[in-house]
Structure 1
Amino acid sequence: MPALTYRAIEAYKPKDKSYRITIDRGVQLRIAADGLRTVLVRYTVKGAKDERQYTLPQEYGDSPGQIKLADACAEGQRIRALARSGIDWPAEEETRLLAEAEAQQQAAVDALTLKEGVKEYVDKKCRAKDGLPLKSRTKSEYMKMVAPGKVGKNGRKFVDGGLMPLAHIPMTAITAKAIWATYNDLLKRSRRQADYSMQVLRAVLRWHGIHISNSPLSQTTAGRDRIVIKASSGDPTPIPAENLGAWWLAACASPRRVAANYYRFQLLTGCRGVEILGAKKYDYEPIRIRDVNLETGRILLIDTKNRSNYLLLLSREALAIAKEACEGREPGEPLFSITDARKTLTWINKQAGTTVQGHDMRATFTTIAEELVSGGVLKRMINHSTSNDVTLGHYVGKGEAQLRAGWQIVADFIVNTAAEKTARRTAPEAMPVSDIAEDALAVLPEPAVEVA
């Protein structure tokens, strides 16, 4: 029989702190400050010295889903009787429930198709080095891998994502043969696309804990049966040194002032195009008028590609472009109000005899800076991560003065090259300096500051 009746128990009310009352031998009722009542069973397993405690999963009470007094006492005595026989039922029950949960989780994973697996990966995966979620662009690129090609307005269908042949197959059912077939088909498009698709597939399978027999993506597979993913390498195509002056002069003379200023600004700063203009589909914000501090010549870029904030220190030439872009504009407007500047770049290329594209501005900046500033300054100027570089990440510190001098030296080099180009054009015939040359000479810098 219970030590207390139902009516006697109901007389106990919540207090400022939780407390316990005994309702049967080895069975207690815990009354919390918020009124929650739970049943605690105390028992000692045969052969053990320590007393253990188990909390019944149901809350005590008469309502549906709660455990009543008689049932609570009966369950408590059952657990204690098993303990006297040497059976730790709560521990065994916990083990059983854990095994069931793991089995259910594994069954859910086994049923996931690759497309579903990629979706879960991009939604939940966090970067190991900082715990931040994947960038929007990365998520978009991964999901495109398992999506069919879109149909254009003219009815033309674009190619499917690289992993589309495996997209609707359960991940546990993907075979080494299927992976090889997909890879060989992708090689017909390009080696880089094939390797990138395999990198994505390998990352998703590893994250889900999927093991494929003799997988060509596994390091434990024999070399002859393994796909060798070529390490990614850039193919920079900067503005040729002999055309740099002509390119700058053509950009200064472009009738499309805003678009040309955007490319000049990108060349002077080394920024990624998406960091300046933003990208709606990737949720990247553009530089806005309010982000530019004209007094100090600073722009703070938030959450850039390497997941860090980036302080851009403007040279005199870049600051002049920023001032022109800000003049008479509202704080919330983009610094450069352009949708597609490629026609302007095509015009500049035609005048300068070049074929560079947007990202080549960054490559040109880096190529110039590599000969003029130290590696530590350059790495920070182009906003590359130093997390894997112990020397730069932990020992080398660069102040704003050193970094700003680095940007100024690059700007000086570009403008001086353009001025020399103009001088060579006019010298033979002693002609007056053209309007374009005057623009270039007007922003000739003070003597460059040497950066270690």
Structure 2
Amino acid sequence: MPLLTVRAIDALKPREQAFKVTLERGLQLRIAPDGVRTLLIRYTVKGGSDGERQYRLPQEYGEGAGQIRLAAACAEAARIRALAREGVDWPAQEEVRLRRVAAESEAAGRLEGLSLAQAVRDYVERKRRAKDGLALKARTRADYLAMVEPGRTMRSGKKFADGELYPLAHKLVSTITGKDIRKLHTDLRERSERQATYAMQVLRAVLRWHGVVITDNPLARDTAGRDRIVITTGSSEPAPIPPEQLGAWWNAAATAPSRVAADYYRFQLLTGCRGVEIHGHKRHGYPPIKVADLDLVGGKITLRDTKNRSDHKLLLSRQALEIVVRNATDKKADAALFPIVDARKTLAWINAKAGTSVQGHGLRDTFASIAEELVSGAALKKMMNHATGRDVTLGSYVGKSEAQLRQAWQTVADFIDAAAANPLDLAPQSRPPRRAAVRRPWRDRAVADRRPKLPLVPSGPR
């Protein structure tokens, strides 16, 4: 039974200051100076650490429309307090639910009439990286936009494949279903597993950025594992020049018909740069290395706004500096250091002569494979211009001076020169005769100690 009757409550008049009246255990009525009457429920959650909490009923007390009567208020207070005794904070859960509903309603209004193609274009233009506020790189923007475009048609009538997300490009994001995404992923896997993975990564990023909620979304974190599309981290096997053919490749590059193209590839091998960082890309707005970018006195080049959105300083070895000086001589400051359009024919010529099959990025792989055995891991990461990410040691503690990094680059260049001076000839008839083994008891014992100890397996009947 309430402590006060409806008549007693109606007889209460507003005062200059708001005041509270207890109607029942855990239920209070607050009367404001303007006469507004609100109901407050006080409760303590079992196992909670915040002590007593307070919840205000959304309806005002009264007998009119939209108001809550005394009996209903007492029943609601009893329900909430009973749940609290069981460890359930119903008001907090309700607040979370209402916020989610409001957010979904706001997102639905914002996404009304928005197609996936428009969503991708909006993402490309407005997306900024959280750590530094920088926009997406030009090549990344181009890749994403191409996914929602139809394939081009050549003059011969041949049509290229449509963009990976083109089947959903004109569909409203509010109408995309989990079934649509699964079908798209299945179709893309028939074209290429790598394309399917990349497309799903882009689609997931765009949907999250716009706040699109899709029921049974196979790209969502809260979807059951058996129903989720697994997006694996992209990886590829390195394809460096085989060590035994390094010297032959370097010597072949030195005699290639196109001096500029050969110097470009030799420079890439000596520095470990990405090709686009050297020759640039007009379509995506990447400038090439120009003569004005060189610091011949300091023996270095600074590459601006590279793939990881930071500047990268190349500290040139003697061999790399020689190539740079040769290609910069008698050129204007705004001229490209390596004025090449397509150097792949030169690389094919070098490969044919050296018996190799390395491609452009494989030279970067070769540089890293050589350096990995010659310099420290911290130096290699700096030379490769890889972000430290979450590596606290490299990001916050390990520092490398220009002298240390220059020496690291020089070490790699000297190794390549040594390989060119003494190329390995693996033909059996040309191998030098083996020298007689020299007995070194102390060394033999050390080697024996390092050999794996195999378990003794009893032999079967002979």
Q: How far apart, in 2, do the equivalents of 1:150 and 1:115 lie?
A: 17
Question: Could you report, residue by residue, the CA deviation over 1:293-331 in whole angstroms, capped at 9, with x for unpaired residues?
Answer: 111111011111000011110000000000001000000
Unaligned segments of structure 2, at least 5 residues: 1-13, 19-32, 38-100, 431-462
Question: Could you report, residue by residue, the CA deviation over 1:395-446 in whole angstroms, capped at 9, with x for unpaired residues?
Answer: 0000001100110010001010000028999xx8xxxxxxxxxxxxxxxxxx
Aligned residue for 1:312, secondary structure, equals strand
Offset at residue 178 of structure 1 (A)? 0.6
Change (3 A) 1:49 1:362: farther
Q: Which residue of 2 aligns with 1:35?
A: none
Task: State the aligned residue count.
Answer: 339
From 339, 344, 353, the counterpart of 1:337:
339
Q: Which residue of 2 aligns with 1:316?
A: 318
Unaligned segments of structure 1, at least 5 residues: 1-45, 51-82, 88-98, 429-452
Amino acid at match of 1:228: V
Change (3 A) 1:102 1:401: same
Offset at residue 48 of structure 1 (A)? 8.8
Q: Which residue of 2 aligns with 1:163?
A: 165
Question: Could you report, residue by residue, the CA deviation over 1:136-172 in whole angstroms, capped at 9, with x for unpaired residues?
Answer: 1111111111111111232211101111111110111
Q: How far apart, in 1, do the equivalents of 2:102 and 2:135 lie?
A: 30
Q: Given that residues 215 and 221 in structure 1 are in contact (C-alpha distance below 8 angstroms), is that contact kept between their aligned partners in structure 2?
A: yes
Q: Which residue of 2 aligns with 1:400?
A: 402
Q: How far apart, in 2, do the equivalents of 1:100 and 1:392 lie?
A: 44
Q: Which residue of 2 aligns with 1:247?
A: 249
Worse-superposed segment, 293-302 or 262-271? 293-302
Question: Could you report, residue by residue, the CA deviation over 1:345-388 in whole angstroms, capped at 9, with x for unpaired residues?
Answer: 00000000111111111111001000100000000001000132
Offset at residue 108 of structure 1 (A)? 3.6
Q: Given that residues 124 and 141 in structure 2 are in contact (C-alpha distance below 8 angstroms), is that contact kept between their aligned partners in structure 1?
A: yes
From 274, 277, 297, the counterpart of 1:275:
277
Q: Given that residues 148 and 164 in structure 1 are in contact (C-alpha distance below 8 angstroms), is that contact kept between their aligned partners in structure 2?
A: yes
Q: Which residue of 1 aligns with 2:264?
A: 262
Amino acid at match of 2:199: S
Worse-superposed segment, 148-157 or 353-362? 148-157
Q: Which residue of 2 aligns with 1:362?
A: 364
Q: Given that residues 297 and 319 in structure 1 are in contact (C-alpha distance below 8 angstroms), is that contact kept between their aligned partners in structure 2?
A: yes
Question: Could you report, residue by residue, the CA deviation over 1:147-206 in whole angstroms, capped at 9, with x for unpaired residues?
Answer: 111112322111011111111101111111110110000001111110110000000000
Q: Given that residues 300 and 313 in structure 2 are in contact (C-alpha distance below 8 angstroms), is that contact kept between their aligned partners in structure 1?
A: yes
From 288, 303, 306, the counterpart of 1:304:
306
Aligned residue for 1:380, secondary structure, equals helix
Q: How far apart, in 1, do the equivalents of 2:16 and 2:410 lie?
A: 77
From 188, 191, 201, the counterpart of 1:189:
191
Q: How far apart, in 2, do the equivalents of 1:389 and 1:111 lie?
A: 43
TM-score normalised over the length of structure 1: 0.71
Q: Given that residues 325 and 336 in structure 1 are in contact (C-alpha distance below 8 angstroms), is that contact kept between their aligned partners in structure 2?
A: yes
Change (3 A) 1:258 1:226: same
5 Å-filtered alignment, 1:5-24, equals none
Amino acid at match of 1:237: A
Aligned residue for 2:313, secondary structure, equals strand
Q: Aligned-residue CA RMSD in angstroms? A: 2.5
Q: Which residue of 2 aligns with 1:138?
A: 140
Q: Given that residues 245 and 423 in structure 2 are in contact (C-alpha distance below 8 angstroms), is that contact kept between their aligned partners in structure 1?
A: no
Identity %: 55
TM-score normalised over the length of structure 2: 0.70
Aligned residue for 2:112, secondary structure, equals helix
Q: Given that residues 104 and 213 in structure 2 are in contact (C-alpha distance below 8 angstroms), is that contact kept between their aligned partners in structure 1?
A: no
Question: Could you report, residue by residue, the CA deviation over 1:248-281 in whole angstroms, capped at 9, with x for unpaired residues?
Answer: 0000001100000000000000000000011011
Q: Given that residues 299 and 312 in structure 1 are in contact (C-alpha distance below 8 angstroms), is that contact kept between their aligned partners in structure 2?
A: yes
Q: Given that residues 247 and 419 in structure 2 are in contact (C-alpha distance below 8 angstroms), is that contact kept between their aligned partners in structure 1?
A: yes
Offset at residue 110 of structure 1 (A)? 2.7
Q: How far apart, in 1, do the equivalents of 2:202 and 2:103 lie?
A: 29
Amino acid at match of 2:398: V
Q: Which residue of 1 aligns with 2:125?
A: 123
Change (3 A) 1:106 1:222: closer
Q: Given that residues 47 and 86 in structure 1 are in contact (C-alpha distance below 8 angstroms), is that contact kept between their aligned partners in structure 2?
A: no
Offset at residue 235 of structure 1 (A)? 1.7
Q: Which residue of 1 aligns with 2:379?
A: 377
